[in-house]
Structure 1
């Protein structure tokens, strides 16, 4: 299993190997165990690019694993990688899994890439030992991961770090499998619950937008998850391509209160909607996470979307570009800012509340320059 984090999350400076290892939970959004982590270096080698985590493989498939991972870095203008292995125990011969580093060196050489550093630690925890594969005198103990520069930067940006990858994956699981079953049956019997008698397509589209705006307002009031009727109407609302593409625009620019609200709503709908409708919510959550630089959450959300609807082309596209670590700034063209304004999808503030500058109906989200 791999987890890729797109570049451009933050501009923190990691001054030594110990800081780099201790920062891994903040690069991945979870604390890695029994993992190979590859940190790509952009030309000329001082800027971190693509970050990929993979489970430590059995020895018999080590060559195949690195041969599948290294081409990602070669395709994205990297000069090389730093490798960090987490797990195992050192002995008198040095850190474990040395044969995996040998395979990495071979694969990197075949792609004319450099191995800048090869590091090992048994766990990412305060006081854990770390050492280098290429220099026996290069070793020490890890600082507290929560006290690193990257921890401060990502916390300020609103990132959440989970104790494990499994804990992060659990965030996407259905809140109530029984509710999912009921809603699947309701949608099977009435796939277009927003369409009433004599309604035109324009009327149904307006009803879809109203449903989403109401969902935002319920979320702001802390009303909890949708009931069955609300869930099936929202599922229908997201089937409109214009609505889905306008919702993508709510992810740009990232780090605003509206983008955070939208991401929270999409996460709720991933947990509340049955397949294949869940795919639309997964796409919106994955795209929002990509825009914010949370690659692990983005990857899991997009995998969730593809699982819900394996034939969904947008889900497949976003998963593919996530998999190769595409710069999020290159994906803003997928969002339909004009339609977001035309539909009035940006929900208004609660009556009597102070809106942020630019927030409210008719605000046009501006993509990054």
Structure 2
């Protein structure tokens, strides 16, 4: 099977023509900006050019696959329609490395029903899937190509890192592939440390204080003002910390500046939509990087039974990251927000817009006063 797709590099660079499944597989990390792990990736094609893309973790339960396939297809196609119109086709990738004695080929065979579900979900929206690849154990398989000479049953080895046409062009253009997503997700994942029980107790105590106040008729605006004032005080502390690379070490320093009771009050306060929308206004200028660090810190504090509460800070983290131009972290944060609460509308809308490569400026304008 032959595929002709073009990927534009950085502004001013020449276009790259990808002619076969091998070059498509090798291009994936450069299309996303990172090497996906345990991921479903859908990439739109518009007149032979790559367009919007969506990524989601592969659900462990096969029973969840049909709904995930439908939601991903809708998210990508609806998002593309707002920018470039419906895509002409879609390239689908299933990425999962062996974790046990399972081989890459066995993973490919186990995921084949998911590949078919993705094709059907996109087809129901009148957009064909022109290629579906499984990438595992440094090999790839095509679910679309029946020719063994082209796509052998045992898979085709991926080119050595940095040696593909796409790698050479992107390196020349200054485009880099980020580290594993697990490092990024670790910065947004609730604590599983000795401090987690203490944070959970603080959340319980804050709920017992806040809920009776709301039931007693305390004005909603008053609770919102208290939450936002506390948020400003906390992230202003972050601004006084030593500057350096934005890494896990930064997260540890930020955690030391945020007391358990403060984190609990902020997490519960942000469950109110009005409060969250006001907090979303901190999305540019000097405020944005500090607010992003606070939203990450709060997501890490949504421990134990409060996991669903993480949807609010994760969505805010995704929004600020997108506003700052980091679509990779934005996508991960929004993905995790929807995993925490699949019905969280703000996260879903942002995911559609970010996945379609839309400009965040219209959203920023709506939030500015």
2: CA distance between counterparts of 1:298 and 1:140? 32
1:51 corresponds to: 54
1:171 equivalenced with 2:188 (yes/no): yes
Q: 1:129 to 1:318 in 2, by over 3 A?
A: closer
1:116 and 2:130 correspond: yes
> After alignment, is 175-184 or 97-106 more displaced?
97-106
Give the conservation status (yes or no) of the 8 Å contact 2:35–2:181.
yes
- CA shift in 2, pair 1:332/1:154, >3 Å: farther
Aligned pair count reads 308
2:301 is the counterpart of 1:272 = yes
Could you tell me whether the CA contact under 8 Å between 1:162 and 1:168 is conserved in 2?
no
Report Cα offsets for 1:195-232 as digits up to 9, x if no partner.
9xxx9988876654442222122112335321134334
In the superposition, relative to structure 1, how do residues 32 and 337 fare at CA in structure 2: closer, same or farther (>3 Å)?
same
Q: What is the Cα deviation at residue 332 of structure 1?
A: 0.7
User: Is the CA contact 1:130–1:140 (under 8 Å) kept in the aligned structure 2?
Assistant: yes
Contact 2:299 2:313 in 1 (8 A): yes
TM-score by length of 2: 0.61
Contact 2:312-2:337 within 8 A present in 1 as well: no
> Alignment partner of 2:280: what SS?
helix
Looking at structure 1, the residues matched to 271 and 59 of structure 2 have their Cα atoms a distance apart, in angstroms, of 40
Partner of 1:24: 28
The alpha-carbon deviation at position 268 of structure 1 amounts to 0.3
Equivalent position SS for 2:129: strand
Q: 1:84 aligns with which of 93, 97, 102?
A: 93
Q: Write the distance in 2 (CA, Å) between the matches of 1:80 and 1:232.
A: 46
Aligned pair 1:144/2:161, yes or no?
yes
Alpha-carbon offset, residue 284 of structure 1: 1.3
Query: Of the candidates 182, 199, 203, which is equivalent to residue 184 of structure 1?
Result: 203
- Flag the 1:169–1:193 CA change in 2: closer, same or farther, 3 A: farther
Measured in 2, the distance between the counterparts of 1:316 and 1:51 equals 17
Matched, 1:221 2:240: yes
Query: Residue 349 of structure 1 corresponds to which residue in structure 2?
Result: none
Matched, 1:329 2:359: yes
- For the Cα contact (< 8 Å) 2:199–2:301, is it kept in 1? yes
Are 1:302 and 2:337 an aligned pair?
yes
Matched position secondary structure for 2:91: strand
How far residue 191 of structure 1 moved from its aligned partner, in angstroms, is 1.6
Q: Deviations over 1:99-153 (max 9, x none)?
A: 7666665665554433333444433xxxx34465536447663241695656898
Gaps of 5+ in 1: 1-7, 339-369
Post-superposition offset of 1:39: 1.6
* Cα 1:237–1:50 shift into 2, 3 Å: same
Q: CA 1:299/1:64 → structure 2, altered by over 3 Å: closer, same or farther?
A: closer
Q: Is the 8 A contact 1:194 1:208 kept in 2?
A: no
> 337, 341, 345: which is aligned to 1:316?
345
